[in-house]
Amino acid sequence: MAKLEKLKGLAPHIAIANIYGPTETNIITYHWVQDEDLLRDSIPLGKVVDDTEIIVVNDDANKICDVNEIGELWCREEP
């Protein structure tokens, strides 16, 4: 977080986004970083991009996790 705080301090008027995807060129989630995010231990993955479905499955990959349950992130294009 220290590097992000420094960047926000050097360029306070730019928008910073946390983007996530399984590869460098495949973005599936985004979160526009806000000042209050700097108080967190981590930045949220954010919202899912259009035409993408994300599910979280348990370690055995046989059950979709409940909200706030830890698991493995699976993504796919929506049919």
Question: pLDDT tens, 47-66?
Answer: 999 988 888 898 877 899 98
Question: pLDDT tens, 21-48?
Answer: 877 778 888 999 998 888 888 888 889 9
- Stated pTM of the model: 0.71
Furthest CA-CA distance within the chain: 46
Whether residue 70 has pLDDT greater than 90? no
Contact (Cβ atoms closer than 8 angstroms) between residue 44 and residue 18: yes
Residues 40 and 54: their CA atoms lie apart, in Å, by 23
Contact (Cβ atoms closer than 8 angstroms) between residue 53 and residue 35: no
Strands 47-48 and 29-32, bridge-based pairing: antiparallel
The tokens for 1 are: 């977080």
